[in-house]
Amino acid sequence: MLAPGFQGENVGVINAVLATIGIEGPGWLSDQHWAKPAIILTQLWGVGGSMLILLPALASVPQDQLEAADIDGASPIRKFFSVVVPQISPALFFLLTMGMIGTFQMFNEPMILPGADRLWTDTLMVHLYSNAFESYRMGYASALAWVMFVVIMSFTLIQLALGKKWVHYE
């Protein structure tokens, strides 16, 4: 499913779209400098799931607080950062935490994109998989898994501690 979008320089959906506007498309997977941007572009597909969480949070912002900010003469930017963001901060906090965990655990995209040089697209999970199931270094892979657990847990605890300052629960 991902391959048709990022095939060679002269084929692929994305390069076809770029060609219609007069831009020569890059070799997404054949060029080491374009493999990571290809993975980043595939991550944009996850934005829809985040919107399913953010839209109800935005809809739950009390209109009377927005009207009070209008009466006080707040600019749209001030209303957004002083009224809307504090109201949706629990949803933002959840999305930031899950996004951070998901980024550390990224495996599928670097593994299934054909032609991508692993040197440029290797993540900790791909490295763990390679050591466990290609090199049969189970001890090293297990140690990597524990290191990954400790790193993710540390970042999550740091986010929880920092979240107490900016996340507002009603």
- pLDDT value of residue 128: 87
5 within domain boundaries: no
What average pLDDT values come out for the chain (170 residues) when binned by 10 residues?
A: 52 80 78 77 85 94 93 94 93 92 83 65 84 92 94 93 84
Range of the domain at 93: 49-166
41 within domain boundaries: no
pTM of the model: 0.74
The residue to which tokens 């900010």 are assigned: 69
- pLDDT value of residue 102: 87
> How far is 122 from 141, CA to CA, in rounded Å?
15
Number of C-beta neighbours around residue 25 at 10 A:
20
144 within domain boundaries: yes
97 within domain boundaries: yes
82 within domain boundaries: yes
The CATH number of the domain where 104 resides is what? 1.10.3720.10
99 within domain boundaries: yes
- pLDDT value of residue 1: 45
- pLDDT value of residue 114: 62
**Closest by alpha carbon to 160, among 102, 105, 100?**
100
25 within domain boundaries: no
2 within domain boundaries: no
- Provide the number of structural domains found in the chain: 1
